[in-house]
Amino acid sequence: MTPRRFVNLFPKKYIFQKLINYSLFKISYLLNLKKLIYLPVTMDVEPTTGCNFRCTMCQVSSPDFHSKNMELETFKKIIKENKQLIKIKLQGMGEPLVNKYLFEMIKFAKDYGVGTEIISNGSLLNEKNINFLLDNKLSKLTISIDGATKKTFENIRIKSNFDTVINNAKLFSNLIKKKIFRPEFSAWCTVQQENFNEVEEIAILCKNIGFDNLTFQVHLTGWGKDEWNKINENKKIEYKSLEIKKHFKNICEKYSNKNFKVDVFENNLLNFKKKCSWPINSSYLASTGDVVPCCIVGDPKVINYGNIKSQSFKEIWNSKAYYKLRDNIKNNQIDDFCKNCYREYTN
Ligand SMILES: C[S@@+](CC[C@H](N)C(=O)[O-])C[C@H]1O[C@@H](n2cnc3c(N)ncnc32)[C@H](O)[C@@H]1O
Ligand code: SF4
Ligand code: SF4
Protein backbone atom coordinates (compact mmCIF):
# COMPACT_ATOMS: atom_id res chain seq x y z
CA MET A 1 0.00 0.00 0.00
CA THR A 2 1.60 3.24 -1.13
CA PRO A 3 1.16 6.43 0.99
CA ARG A 4 -0.82 7.91 -1.92
CA ARG A 5 -3.48 5.25 -1.46
CA PHE A 6 -3.22 4.90 2.33
CA VAL A 7 -4.35 8.50 2.94
CA ASN A 8 -7.76 7.83 1.35
CA LEU A 9 -8.28 4.89 3.71
CA PHE A 10 -7.51 6.75 6.90
CA PRO A 11 -10.63 8.02 8.74
CA LYS A 12 -10.53 11.68 9.73
CA LYS A 13 -13.64 11.89 11.92
CA TYR A 14 -15.05 9.88 14.84
CA ILE A 15 -11.63 8.30 15.18
CA PHE A 16 -12.15 7.61 18.91
CA GLN A 17 -15.39 5.60 18.31
CA LYS A 18 -13.68 3.66 15.53
CA LEU A 19 -10.61 2.85 17.63
CA ILE A 20 -12.63 1.76 20.67
CA ASN A 21 -14.94 -0.42 18.60
CA TYR A 22 -12.08 -2.02 16.71
CA SER A 23 -10.22 -2.73 19.97
CA LEU A 24 -13.34 -4.31 21.51
CA PHE A 25 -13.75 -6.45 18.41
CA LYS A 26 -10.14 -7.64 18.65
CA ILE A 27 -10.40 -8.32 22.41
CA SER A 28 -13.67 -10.27 21.97
CA TYR A 29 -12.10 -12.28 19.19
CA LEU A 30 -8.96 -13.10 21.18
CA LEU A 31 -10.93 -14.02 24.31
CA ASN A 32 -13.52 -15.88 22.23
CA LEU A 33 -16.34 -14.00 24.02
CA LYS A 34 -19.82 -15.34 23.36
CA LYS A 35 -21.50 -11.94 23.63
CA LEU A 36 -20.54 -9.31 21.08
CA ILE A 37 -19.47 -6.12 22.86
CA TYR A 38 -18.97 -4.14 19.65
CA LEU A 39 -20.69 -3.25 16.38
CA PRO A 40 -19.45 -4.26 12.91
CA VAL A 41 -16.13 -2.87 11.76
CA THR A 42 -17.12 -2.76 8.09
CA MET A 43 -20.39 -3.10 6.22
CA ASP A 44 -21.72 -3.63 2.70
CA VAL A 45 -24.48 -1.18 1.85
CA GLU A 46 -26.48 -1.91 -1.27
CA PRO A 47 -27.42 1.35 -3.01
CA THR A 48 -29.74 -0.38 -5.46
CA THR A 49 -30.86 -3.66 -6.96
CA GLY A 50 -31.34 -1.93 -10.31
CA CYS A 51 -28.87 -2.72 -13.07
CA ASN A 52 -28.34 -1.91 -16.74
CA PHE A 53 -26.66 -5.33 -17.36
CA ARG A 54 -28.02 -8.86 -17.10
CA CYS A 55 -24.94 -10.98 -16.36
CA THR A 56 -25.54 -14.69 -16.86
CA MET A 57 -24.30 -15.78 -13.40
CA CYS A 58 -25.96 -13.00 -11.37
CA GLN A 59 -29.31 -13.26 -9.60
CA VAL A 60 -30.18 -9.72 -10.72
CA SER A 61 -30.87 -11.34 -14.11
CA SER A 62 -33.78 -13.39 -12.71
CA PRO A 63 -36.99 -12.16 -14.37
CA ASP A 64 -38.66 -11.82 -10.95
CA PHE A 65 -35.79 -9.87 -9.31
CA HIS A 66 -37.15 -6.46 -8.35
CA SER A 67 -35.27 -3.23 -8.82
CA LYS A 68 -35.21 -1.02 -5.71
CA ASN A 69 -33.11 2.05 -4.93
CA MET A 70 -32.10 2.66 -1.31
CA GLU A 71 -33.67 5.83 0.05
CA LEU A 72 -31.22 8.50 1.14
CA GLU A 73 -32.83 8.61 4.60
CA THR A 74 -32.22 4.87 5.11
CA PHE A 75 -28.58 5.38 4.17
CA LYS A 76 -28.20 8.33 6.54
CA LYS A 77 -29.75 6.32 9.38
CA ILE A 78 -27.31 3.43 9.02
CA ILE A 79 -24.32 5.77 9.00
CA LYS A 80 -25.54 7.89 11.92
CA GLU A 81 -26.09 4.71 13.99
CA ASN A 82 -22.70 3.27 13.03
CA LYS A 83 -20.07 5.96 13.51
CA GLN A 84 -17.68 3.15 14.47
CA LEU A 85 -17.53 1.90 10.86
CA ILE A 86 -14.10 2.11 9.28
CA LYS A 87 -15.36 1.57 5.76
CA ILE A 88 -18.42 0.59 3.77
CA LYS A 89 -18.58 -1.14 0.43
CA LEU A 90 -21.28 0.50 -1.63
CA GLN A 91 -22.27 -2.52 -3.63
CA GLY A 92 -24.68 -5.39 -3.69
CA MET A 93 -27.12 -6.83 -6.15
CA GLY A 94 -27.24 -4.10 -8.76
CA GLU A 95 -25.08 -1.38 -10.24
CA PRO A 96 -24.31 1.26 -7.59
CA LEU A 97 -24.21 4.13 -10.09
CA VAL A 98 -27.86 3.50 -10.99
CA ASN A 99 -28.90 5.16 -7.72
CA LYS A 100 -28.90 8.93 -8.29
CA TYR A 101 -28.15 9.48 -4.57
CA LEU A 102 -24.91 7.45 -4.70
CA PHE A 103 -22.73 10.55 -4.75
CA GLU A 104 -24.59 12.14 -1.86
CA MET A 105 -24.15 8.87 0.06
CA ILE A 106 -20.40 8.93 -0.51
CA LYS A 107 -20.17 12.53 0.68
CA PHE A 108 -22.34 11.77 3.74
CA ALA A 109 -20.19 8.77 4.70
CA LYS A 110 -17.05 10.87 4.30
CA ASP A 111 -18.47 13.42 6.75
CA TYR A 112 -18.67 10.61 9.34
CA GLY A 113 -15.11 9.49 8.63
CA VAL A 114 -16.30 6.30 6.94
CA GLY A 115 -14.17 5.15 4.01
CA THR A 116 -16.08 4.20 0.87
CA GLU A 117 -15.51 1.55 -1.76
CA ILE A 118 -17.54 0.90 -4.89
CA ILE A 119 -17.75 -2.22 -7.00
CA SER A 120 -19.08 -1.23 -10.39
CA ASN A 121 -19.69 -2.66 -13.85
CA GLY A 122 -17.87 0.44 -15.11
CA SER A 123 -20.44 1.40 -17.74
CA LEU A 124 -21.75 4.61 -16.17
CA LEU A 125 -18.49 6.33 -15.24
CA ASN A 126 -17.61 9.64 -16.87
CA GLU A 127 -15.18 12.47 -16.19
CA LYS A 128 -17.68 14.44 -14.08
CA ASN A 129 -18.65 11.62 -11.73
CA ILE A 130 -15.07 10.32 -11.49
CA ASN A 131 -13.93 13.78 -10.35
CA PHE A 132 -16.69 13.79 -7.72
CA LEU A 133 -15.48 10.40 -6.44
CA LEU A 134 -11.92 11.68 -6.26
CA ASP A 135 -12.90 14.94 -4.53
CA ASN A 136 -14.84 12.95 -1.92
CA LYS A 137 -11.91 10.69 -1.15
CA LEU A 138 -13.32 7.41 -2.40
CA SER A 139 -11.05 4.71 -0.87
CA LYS A 140 -11.33 2.17 -3.65
CA LEU A 141 -13.00 1.58 -7.00
CA THR A 142 -13.31 -1.97 -8.30
CA ILE A 143 -14.44 -2.62 -11.85
CA SER A 144 -15.63 -6.07 -12.93
CA ILE A 145 -13.66 -7.34 -15.91
CA ASP A 146 -15.00 -10.73 -16.97
CA GLY A 147 -13.35 -11.06 -20.37
CA ALA A 148 -10.38 -9.87 -22.40
CA THR A 149 -12.29 -9.91 -25.68
CA LYS A 150 -15.51 -8.17 -26.65
CA LYS A 151 -17.14 -11.52 -27.46
CA THR A 152 -16.47 -13.22 -24.12
CA PHE A 153 -17.12 -10.10 -22.05
CA GLU A 154 -20.45 -9.37 -23.72
CA ASN A 155 -21.51 -13.04 -23.68
CA ILE A 156 -21.22 -13.06 -19.89
CA ARG A 157 -22.15 -9.44 -19.19
CA ILE A 158 -25.37 -9.33 -21.23
CA LYS A 159 -26.36 -5.81 -22.37
CA SER A 160 -22.82 -4.53 -21.77
CA ASN A 161 -20.49 -2.81 -24.20
CA PHE A 162 -16.91 -3.99 -23.73
CA ASP A 163 -15.38 -0.89 -25.37
CA THR A 164 -17.32 1.53 -23.13
CA VAL A 165 -16.25 -0.29 -19.95
CA ILE A 166 -12.59 -0.50 -21.02
CA ASN A 167 -12.53 3.16 -22.10
CA ASN A 168 -14.09 4.23 -18.78
CA ALA A 169 -11.50 2.18 -16.89
CA LYS A 170 -8.73 3.88 -18.88
CA LEU A 171 -10.28 7.29 -18.14
CA PHE A 172 -10.29 6.55 -14.39
CA SER A 173 -6.72 5.33 -14.60
CA ASN A 174 -5.61 8.54 -16.35
CA LEU A 175 -7.48 10.84 -13.97
CA ILE A 176 -6.03 9.25 -10.82
CA LYS A 177 -2.50 9.59 -12.17
CA LYS A 178 -2.84 13.36 -11.77
CA LYS A 179 -3.79 13.10 -8.06
CA ILE A 180 -1.30 13.28 -5.21
CA PHE A 181 -3.63 11.15 -3.04
CA ARG A 182 -5.92 8.72 -4.77
CA PRO A 183 -8.14 5.64 -4.34
CA GLU A 184 -7.02 2.09 -4.88
CA PHE A 185 -8.04 0.97 -8.38
CA SER A 186 -8.91 -2.73 -8.65
CA ALA A 187 -10.19 -5.18 -11.22
CA TRP A 188 -12.33 -8.18 -10.29
CA CYS A 189 -12.83 -11.16 -12.57
CA THR A 190 -15.51 -13.74 -11.81
CA VAL A 191 -13.97 -16.82 -13.41
CA GLN A 192 -16.24 -19.35 -15.09
CA GLN A 193 -15.98 -21.81 -17.96
CA GLU A 194 -16.83 -19.11 -20.50
CA ASN A 195 -13.81 -16.89 -19.65
CA PHE A 196 -11.37 -19.42 -18.20
CA ASN A 197 -9.36 -19.57 -21.44
CA GLU A 198 -8.83 -15.81 -21.28
CA VAL A 199 -7.59 -15.40 -17.71
CA GLU A 200 -4.02 -14.70 -18.81
CA GLU A 201 -5.21 -12.11 -21.37
CA ILE A 202 -7.40 -10.54 -18.67
CA ALA A 203 -4.29 -10.11 -16.48
CA ILE A 204 -2.43 -8.46 -19.39
CA LEU A 205 -5.39 -6.20 -20.20
CA CYS A 206 -5.80 -5.05 -16.58
CA LYS A 207 -2.08 -4.44 -16.18
CA ASN A 208 -2.05 -2.31 -19.37
CA ILE A 209 -5.08 -0.28 -18.26
CA GLY A 210 -3.25 0.67 -15.06
CA PHE A 211 -5.22 -1.15 -12.35
CA ASP A 212 -3.33 -1.57 -9.06
CA ASN A 213 -4.47 -5.15 -8.76
CA LEU A 214 -6.64 -7.90 -10.21
CA THR A 215 -8.48 -10.58 -8.27
CA PHE A 216 -9.76 -13.80 -9.77
CA GLN A 217 -12.89 -14.99 -8.00
CA VAL A 218 -12.90 -18.73 -8.65
CA HIS A 219 -16.11 -19.75 -6.89
CA LEU A 220 -19.58 -18.83 -8.11
CA THR A 221 -22.20 -18.31 -5.44
CA GLY A 222 -25.77 -19.51 -5.86
CA TRP A 223 -27.06 -16.74 -3.54
CA GLY A 224 -28.45 -19.32 -1.10
CA LYS A 225 -30.98 -20.42 -3.75
CA ASP A 226 -31.38 -23.90 -5.29
CA GLU A 227 -32.25 -22.43 -8.69
CA TRP A 228 -29.03 -20.35 -8.86
CA ASN A 229 -26.90 -23.11 -7.35
CA LYS A 230 -28.01 -25.27 -10.30
CA ILE A 231 -27.43 -22.57 -12.94
CA ASN A 232 -23.96 -21.74 -11.62
CA GLU A 233 -22.97 -25.35 -10.98
CA ASN A 234 -22.81 -25.75 -14.77
CA LYS A 235 -20.74 -22.60 -15.22
CA LYS A 236 -18.12 -22.96 -12.53
CA ILE A 237 -14.56 -24.15 -13.07
CA GLU A 238 -13.04 -27.06 -11.14
CA TYR A 239 -10.72 -24.91 -9.05
CA LYS A 240 -9.87 -27.93 -6.88
CA SER A 241 -7.93 -29.46 -9.77
CA LEU A 242 -4.18 -29.15 -9.17
CA GLU A 243 -3.60 -28.24 -12.80
CA ILE A 244 -6.03 -25.30 -12.62
CA LYS A 245 -4.57 -24.11 -9.30
CA LYS A 246 -1.11 -24.23 -10.84
CA HIS A 247 -2.32 -22.25 -13.86
CA PHE A 248 -3.57 -19.43 -11.58
CA LYS A 249 -0.41 -19.56 -9.48
CA ASN A 250 1.70 -19.12 -12.62
CA ILE A 251 -0.37 -16.16 -13.80
CA CYS A 252 -0.23 -14.51 -10.37
CA GLU A 253 3.54 -14.87 -10.28
CA LYS A 254 4.13 -13.91 -13.90
CA TYR A 255 2.13 -10.66 -13.87
CA SER A 256 2.54 -9.38 -10.31
CA ASN A 257 5.12 -6.69 -9.67
CA LYS A 258 5.42 -3.71 -7.33
CA ASN A 259 2.78 -1.73 -9.28
CA PHE A 260 0.33 -4.53 -10.08
CA LYS A 261 -0.73 -7.48 -7.98
CA VAL A 262 -2.69 -10.49 -9.20
CA ASP A 263 -4.30 -12.89 -6.75
CA VAL A 264 -7.05 -15.46 -6.31
CA PHE A 265 -9.97 -14.84 -3.91
CA GLU A 266 -10.52 -17.87 -1.72
CA ASN A 267 -12.43 -16.28 1.17
CA ASN A 268 -15.70 -17.93 0.22
CA LEU A 269 -14.05 -21.35 -0.02
CA LEU A 270 -14.72 -22.15 3.64
CA ASN A 271 -14.64 -25.35 5.66
CA PHE A 272 -15.22 -26.50 9.26
CA LYS A 273 -11.73 -25.27 10.21
CA LYS A 274 -11.69 -22.06 8.17
CA LYS A 275 -15.05 -20.71 9.35
CA CYS A 276 -17.03 -17.75 8.05
CA SER A 277 -16.26 -14.47 9.85
CA TRP A 278 -18.84 -12.25 8.10
CA PRO A 279 -21.48 -12.27 10.89
CA ILE A 280 -18.93 -11.32 13.56
CA ASN A 281 -17.12 -8.44 11.91
CA SER A 282 -19.37 -7.18 9.14
CA SER A 283 -22.93 -6.98 7.89
CA TYR A 284 -24.97 -6.26 4.77
CA LEU A 285 -27.70 -3.68 4.45
CA ALA A 286 -30.01 -4.39 1.50
CA SER A 287 -31.55 -1.52 -0.47
CA THR A 288 -34.87 -2.23 1.28
CA GLY A 289 -33.31 -1.50 4.70
CA ASP A 290 -33.26 -5.21 5.64
CA VAL A 291 -30.15 -6.55 7.36
CA VAL A 292 -28.78 -9.63 5.60
CA PRO A 293 -25.67 -11.53 6.79
CA CYS A 294 -23.52 -11.03 3.69
CA CYS A 295 -23.32 -10.31 -0.05
CA ILE A 296 -22.97 -14.02 -0.77
CA VAL A 297 -26.72 -14.19 -0.04
CA GLY A 298 -27.60 -10.57 -0.79
CA ASP A 299 -31.36 -11.13 -0.89
CA PRO A 300 -33.53 -10.43 2.18
CA LYS A 301 -36.08 -12.92 0.90
CA VAL A 302 -33.58 -15.72 1.62
CA ILE A 303 -32.70 -14.48 5.11
CA ASN A 304 -32.90 -11.19 7.01
CA TYR A 305 -32.69 -10.24 10.68
CA GLY A 306 -34.83 -7.09 10.68
CA ASN A 307 -35.27 -3.76 8.96
CA ILE A 308 -33.54 -0.60 10.10
CA LYS A 309 -36.55 1.50 9.13
CA SER A 310 -38.41 0.07 12.12
CA GLN A 311 -35.57 -1.00 14.46
CA SER A 312 -32.15 0.26 15.44
CA PHE A 313 -29.22 -1.50 13.81
CA LYS A 314 -27.85 -2.36 17.26
CA GLU A 315 -31.07 -4.19 18.14
CA ILE A 316 -30.83 -6.24 14.94
CA TRP A 317 -27.08 -6.96 15.39
CA ASN A 318 -27.85 -8.28 18.89
CA SER A 319 -31.02 -10.16 17.94
CA LYS A 320 -31.49 -13.81 18.83
CA ALA A 321 -31.68 -14.85 15.17
CA TYR A 322 -28.36 -13.15 14.31
CA TYR A 323 -26.72 -14.86 17.32
CA LYS A 324 -28.16 -18.16 16.17
CA LEU A 325 -26.38 -17.79 12.82
CA ARG A 326 -23.08 -17.05 14.63
CA ASP A 327 -23.57 -20.08 16.90
CA ASN A 328 -24.42 -22.31 13.96
CA ILE A 329 -21.22 -21.29 12.19
CA LYS A 330 -19.19 -21.76 15.35
CA ASN A 331 -20.65 -25.24 15.93
CA ASN A 332 -20.45 -26.31 12.27
CA GLN A 333 -24.24 -26.61 12.09
CA ILE A 334 -24.33 -24.83 8.78
CA ASP A 335 -27.58 -23.14 7.71
CA ASP A 336 -28.86 -24.20 4.28
CA PHE A 337 -28.20 -20.78 2.74
CA CYS A 338 -24.55 -21.00 3.90
CA LYS A 339 -23.83 -24.47 2.57
CA ASN A 340 -22.62 -23.29 -0.83
CA CYS A 341 -19.71 -21.54 0.92
CA TYR A 342 -18.57 -24.71 2.70
CA ARG A 343 -16.37 -27.32 1.03
CA GLU A 344 -18.03 -30.03 3.17
CA TYR A 345 -21.25 -29.53 1.16
CA THR A 346 -19.91 -28.80 -2.32
CA ASN A 347 -17.91 -31.03 -4.60
C1 LIG B 1 -23.14 -8.50 -7.93
S2 LIG B 1 -21.95 -7.42 -8.65
C3 LIG B 1 -22.46 -5.81 -8.13
C4 LIG B 1 -21.56 -4.70 -8.61
C5 LIG B 1 -21.58 -4.38 -10.08
N6 LIG B 1 -22.86 -4.42 -10.64
C7 LIG B 1 -20.60 -5.25 -10.83
O8 LIG B 1 -21.00 -6.06 -11.64
O9 LIG B 1 -19.42 -5.07 -10.57
C10 LIG B 1 -20.48 -7.67 -7.67
C11 LIG B 1 -19.56 -8.72 -8.22
O12 LIG B 1 -20.17 -9.99 -8.11
C13 LIG B 1 -19.81 -10.75 -9.24
N14 LIG B 1 -20.76 -11.83 -9.41
C15 LIG B 1 -21.88 -11.86 -10.14
N16 LIG B 1 -22.49 -13.05 -10.04
C17 LIG B 1 -21.72 -13.82 -9.23
C18 LIG B 1 -21.81 -15.15 -8.72
N19 LIG B 1 -22.81 -15.95 -9.02
N20 LIG B 1 -20.84 -15.58 -7.90
C21 LIG B 1 -19.83 -14.78 -7.55
N22 LIG B 1 -19.68 -13.51 -7.98
C23 LIG B 1 -20.62 -13.04 -8.81
C24 LIG B 1 -19.83 -9.74 -10.35
O25 LIG B 1 -19.14 -10.20 -11.50
C26 LIG B 1 -19.18 -8.55 -9.68
O27 LIG B 1 -17.78 -8.60 -9.83
S1 SF4 C 1 -22.99 -8.73 -11.89
FE2 SF4 C 1 -23.26 -6.55 -11.58
S3 SF4 C 1 -23.53 -5.77 -13.65
FE4 SF4 C 1 -23.89 -7.92 -13.78
S5 SF4 C 1 -26.13 -8.15 -13.56
FE6 SF4 C 1 -25.18 -8.43 -11.55
S7 SF4 C 1 -25.30 -6.45 -10.63
FE8 SF4 C 1 -25.57 -6.14 -12.82
S1 SF4 D 1 -21.15 -18.83 5.25
FE2 SF4 D 1 -23.18 -17.87 5.33
S3 SF4 D 1 -22.85 -15.91 6.33
FE4 SF4 D 1 -20.85 -16.67 5.67
S5 SF4 D 1 -20.51 -15.73 3.66
FE6 SF4 D 1 -21.44 -17.75 3.31
S7 SF4 D 1 -23.65 -17.35 3.19
FE8 SF4 D 1 -22.69 -15.56 4.13
In this predicted model, what pLDDT tens digit does every residue of 114-168 receive, in sequence order? Answer: 999 999 999 999 999 999 999 988 999 999 999 999 999 999 999 999 999 999 9
Atom of ligand 2 nearest to the CA of 121: 3
For residue 79, how many other CB atoms are within 10 A of its CB? Answer: 18
Q: From ligand 1's centre to the CA of 168, what distance in Å?
A: 18
The finding on whether 48 has its CB within 6 A of some atom of ligand 2 is no
Q: Tell the residue nearest (CA) to atom 4 of ligand 3.
A: 276
Confidence band for 268, pLDDT divided at 50, 70 and 90: low
Cα three-residue angle 226-230-233, rounded to 5 degrees: 130
243 pLDDT higher than 70 = yes
Q: Which residues line ligand 1 (CB under 6 A)?
A: 51, 55, 57-58, 91, 93, 95, 119-121, 144, 146, 188, 190, 217, 220-221, 232
For residues 93-110, give the mean pLDDT: 96
Atom of ligand 3 nearest to the CA of 337: 7
Q: Tell the residue nearest (CA) to atom 1 of ligand 3.
A: 338
5 pLDDT higher than 70 = no
pTM of the model: 0.95
330 pLDDT higher than 70 = yes
- pLDDT, residue 7, reads 63
Confidence band for 224, pLDDT divided at 50, 70 and 90: confident
6 pLDDT higher than 70 = no
270 pLDDT higher than 90 = no
Model confidence pLDDT, tens digit, residues 169-200: 999 999 999 888 899 999 999 999 999 999 99
Distance, CA of 128 to CA of 142 (rounded, Å):
18
Which residue has better confidence, 241 or 23? Answer: 23
The residue whose CB lies within 8 Å of the most ligand 2 atoms, and thus the one to mutate among 69, 118, 121, 153, is: 121
347 pLDDT higher than 80 = no
Long-range contacts of 216-219 (CB under 8 A, 24+ apart): 216/189, 216/191, 216/248, 216/262, 216/263, 216/264, 216/265, 217/188, 217/189, 217/190, 217/191, 217/265, 218/191, 218/248, 218/264, 218/265, 218/266, 218/269, 219/265, 219/266, 219/268, 219/269
Confidence band for 319, pLDDT divided at 50, 70 and 90: very high
13 pLDDT higher than 90 = no
For residues 35-42, give the mean pLDDT: 95
Angle between helices 162-177 and 199-209 (to 10 degrees): 40
For residues 228-254, give the mean pLDDT: 93
346 pLDDT higher than 90 = no
